[in-house]
Amino acid sequence: MGVRLPPGVPNIRDTDLIVDDHKKWMGWAIREAEKAFSQDEVPVGAVVLFEDRIIGKGYNQTETLQDPTAHAEMIAISAAANSLKSWRLENCSLYVTLEPCAMCAGAIVLARIESIVIGAMDPKAGACGSLRNVLQDHRLNHQTEIQYGIMEEESSDLLKVFFQRLREQKT
Ligand code: ZN
């Protein structure tokens, strides 16, 4: 039998469950990032979730496609919009291994995504709290909730190994 808590007091068990769920879905985003890694792309991956299932996946393909807009989030958002046959991704969540840039954060707002979950932060280009916060700019007509730091180590380790390898190849 569950413990009944007064309203407003977070139930620790429920919180644990939510974190476990976030980790499960972030695991899928990391698998996408690993695909990028294996194709010599900066390893970033993203998935879009709707009603507890993945409706769009993507990984960074900037080099392969020679397209500056081919970020993981953009590909996942396009795939999700395709699945729902709607550009409105209300009630969807996006899981991404690295804090989105200004372009991707713009797309998240335009798609009206309800919430995003971020793995690692990007102090050099992040637009969801680092350099600016496009997702929670109240001058815009939509704001997106942000959850930080889910599987942060796994997400940033992939990037660290990738850039380390790149430096070694150059020397
Ligand atoms: Zn981006």
What is the full DSSP assignment across the chain?
-PPP--TTPPPHHHHHHHHHHHHHHHHHHHHHHHHHHHTTS---EEEEEETTEEEEEEE--HHHHT-TT--HHHHHHHHHHHHHTSS--TTEEEEEEE---HHHHHHHHHTT-SEEEEEE--TTT-TBTTS-BGGG-TTSS---EEE--TTHHHHHHHHHHHHHHHHHHH-
Dihedral in degrees, nearest 10, Cα atoms 149, 39, 59, 127: 60
- Residue closest to 115 by CA, chosen among 25, 14, 32: 25
**Dihedral of CA 162/164/167/171: which sign?**
negative
Query: pLDDT truncated to tens, each residue of the chain (171 aa)?
Result: 445 555 665 555 667 778 899 999 999 999 999 999 999 999 999 999 999 999 999 999 999 999 999 999 999 999 999 999 999 999 999 999 999 999 999 999 999 999 999 999 999 999 999 999 999 999 999 999 999 999 999 999 999 999 999 999 887
Residue-level pLDDT at 170: 83
For the question of residue 99 being annotated catalytic, the response is no
Distance 71 CA to ligand 1 centre (A): 5
Residue-level pLDDT at 2: 46
Distance 114 CA to ligand 1 centre (A): 18
- Name the active-site residue from 73, 90, 154, 168: 73
Residue-level pLDDT at 15: 74
Distance 17 CA to ligand 1 centre (A): 29
Distance 45 CA to ligand 1 centre (A): 11
Distance 132 CA to ligand 1 centre (A): 14
Residue-level pLDDT at 5: 56
Residue-level pLDDT at 76: 98
